[in-house]
């Protein structure tokens, strides 16, 4: 990922926050011939084992990507966070052009196939995380008949990825003046929408940090 120095996100904790908030990611892998494959799937993050954390994901056992993931070749998992179009009309300065602000994280590592016990744990972590965001009594796997549930697990394959490289790009107007960032953020807030509001807050945060350094 191309990241100019002013867009680099140095905070691992902030990258982890984005990965947890936007867990539906893109898994990118390649075979020896250079053929690229992209899979869209939910990914959970566990921290504590290493500085960058460990990912868990699962795919259908019939999916040809299983063979790629069992090959000890590094893969990239892309997490895309909030993003928003920025109109030049929102800047205080003249002569600006349209752009798109966004936040994204790339995690790289080698997948390792997990056994059934770890597959169960990974699926439960994913379910608990997802159910926890809903305003209802959480669904629990304990309500399933163990026999059919084991059979269903046989149709999927789980992988863990110990993250070897983690990089984040926070393109939120750092190449513009503090005044322009604040005015563009105000424009986003006027339009509204959760993604625009999140980008607006990130723009304001960088403007505040720069103001405090002056």
194 token code pair: 């959760």
Name the residue range of residue 151's domain.
5-85+99-174
Domain count, the chain: 1
pLDDT of residue 77: 98
Residue 68 belongs to a domain? yes
Residue 187 belongs to a domain? no
Residue 155 belongs to a domain? yes
Which residues have C-beta within 8 Å of that of residue 178, sequence separation ≥ 6? Answer: 207, 210, 211
Mind listing the pLDDT tens digit of every residue in the chain (214 residues)? 999 999 999 999 999 999 999 999 999 999 888 899 999 999 999 998 788 999 999 999 999 999 999 888 999 999 999 999 999 999 999 999 999 999 999 999 999 999 999 999 999 999 999 999 899 999 988 888 988 888 999 999 999 999 999 999 999 999 999 999 999 999 999 999 999 999 999 999 999 988 766 5
pLDDT of residue 214: 59
pLDDT of residue 36: 95
What is the rounded distance in angstroms from the CA atom of residue 149 to the CA atom of residue 29?
29
Residue 28 belongs to a domain? yes
- What CATH number has the domain bearing residue 25? 2.30.110.10
Task: Judge contact between 73 and 34, C-beta under 8 A.
Answer: no
Residue 60 belongs to a domain? yes
43 token code pair: 């990914």
Residue 200 belongs to a domain? no
CA atoms 198, 203, 206, 209: torsion sign:
negative
What is the rounded distance in angstroms from the CA atom of residue 126 to the CA atom of residue 103?
23
Residue 210 belongs to a domain? no
pTM, entire model: 0.93
Residue 206 belongs to a domain? no
pLDDT of residue 210: 83
DSSP conformation class of 94: S
pLDDT of residue 143: 81
């Amino acid at each position: 990922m191309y990241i100019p120095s002013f867009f680099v996100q140095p905070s691992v904790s902030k990258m982890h926050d984005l990965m947890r908030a936007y867990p539906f990611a893109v898994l990118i892998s390649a075979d020896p011939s250079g053929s690229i494959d992209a899979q869209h799937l939910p990914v959970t993050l566990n921290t504590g084992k290493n500085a960058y954390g460990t990912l868990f994901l699962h795919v259908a056992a019939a999916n040809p990507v299983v063979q790629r993931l069992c090959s000890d070749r590094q893969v990239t998992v892309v997490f895309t966070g909030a993003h928003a179009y920025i109109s030049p009309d929102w800047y205080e300065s003249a002569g600006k052009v349209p752009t798109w602000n966004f936040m994204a994280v790339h995690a790289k590592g080698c997948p390792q196939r997990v056994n059934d016990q770890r597959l169960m744990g990974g699926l439960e972590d994913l379910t608990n995380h997802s159910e926890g965001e809903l305003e209802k009594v959480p669904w629990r796997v304990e309500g399933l008949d163990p026999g059919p549930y084991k059979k269903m697990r046989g149709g999927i394959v789980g992988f863990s990825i110990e993250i070897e490289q983690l990089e984040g790009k926070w393109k939120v107007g750092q190449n513009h003046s503090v005044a322009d960032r604040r005015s563009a953020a105000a424009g986003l807030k006027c339009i509204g929408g959760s993604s625009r509001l999140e980008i607006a807050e990130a723009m304001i945060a960088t403007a505040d940090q720069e103001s405090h350094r002056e």
